[in-house]
Each structure stands twice: as structure tokens, then as C-alpha cells.
Amino acid sequence: MALLRMDNVGIVVDDLDAAIAFFEELGLVLDGRGEVEGDWVDRTVGLTGVHCAFAMLKMPDGRGRLELAKYHSPAAVGMTPPNPPHNTLGMHRVMFAVDDIDDTIARLRRHGAELLDGVGEFDGGFRLCYLRGPAGIILALAQQT
């Protein structure tokens, strides 16, 4: 048995179109949209009565993907507490390498992104920041200097 690849990271959002626009602004490319429902979906995700719209976005080089999902039923469950801090247990951050962190922050702010604090310097070789995006997602950006 061999691990072949990490296929995608999935994120549940409350506004699919806004989340698509946010990640397209970041530079991901919409690869497809669809909806799923039925017994096979219920069995796969462990819920009953699933009706879910989704969008698959890919990195410009095609090597990584992000799946966004909007649950029409059952309704999505909110985070407790809302917008948890970075040290909350569980997966809650996706990091992207960018060529211009300041430009990227400015573009994402037009889509509602908010810096958690500011841009930091790591080991003299990287500028890093965390910002909150759609559905409370923490997005990390890294620019090699």
C-alpha cells in the first residue's frame, strides 16, 4: 500500500459564491461545480438527508485542490466559539505561498478578509500573516524574501 497524493482540502462555507470569489482572488482556478444528494452521500459523510452544493478549485499549476461545500440540508453547524483562535484543536488553517503578501492582503480585504494581527518576519527569510476569510477560515500567507 502506498500513499499516492493529498487530493484536496475540504471546507464548509455558508456562502459558496462569495467563497469562490475569495479564493479566485487569491489565485485559485474554478475547476467545476455541482450538487450531490442521495444515499451514497449520506453514507459517505455520516449524515442523513444530505443536499450539498460544491465547488472544486485548483492551484494554477494544477497540483493542489480546494473543495468548498455549502450544505442545504442538513443545515451547517456553526463553530463554537465563532471564529476560534489559532490555538483551537483541529484543522482550521490553510497556508498559501504568494509572491507579494501586501498586494494579496489588499485584494483579499476587498472580499472581507481581516488580518488576525499583522505581518511578521520569520527567520529573516519569510514574511507571514494569518487572516480570517469566508466562514471564519484562517488563511495563512507566506512570502519568501
Of 73, 103, 119, the one marking the end of a domain is 73
86 vs 31, 66, 130, 143, CA distance in Å? 29, 20, 9, 20
What residues contact residue 84 under an 8 Å CB cut-off, 6+ apart? 92, 136
Which residue segment(s) compose the domain that 68 sits in? 9-73
State how many domains the chain has: 2
**pLDDT per position in the chain (145 positions), as tens?**
887 788 899 999 999 999 999 999 999 999 999 999 999 999 999 999 999 999 999 999 999 999 999 999 999 988 777 888 777 777 678 999 999 999 999 999 999 999 999 999 998 899 999 999 988 889 999 999 9
30 found inside a domain: yes
* Beta carbons of 141 and 101 less than 8 angstroms apart: yes
- pTM confidence score: 0.90
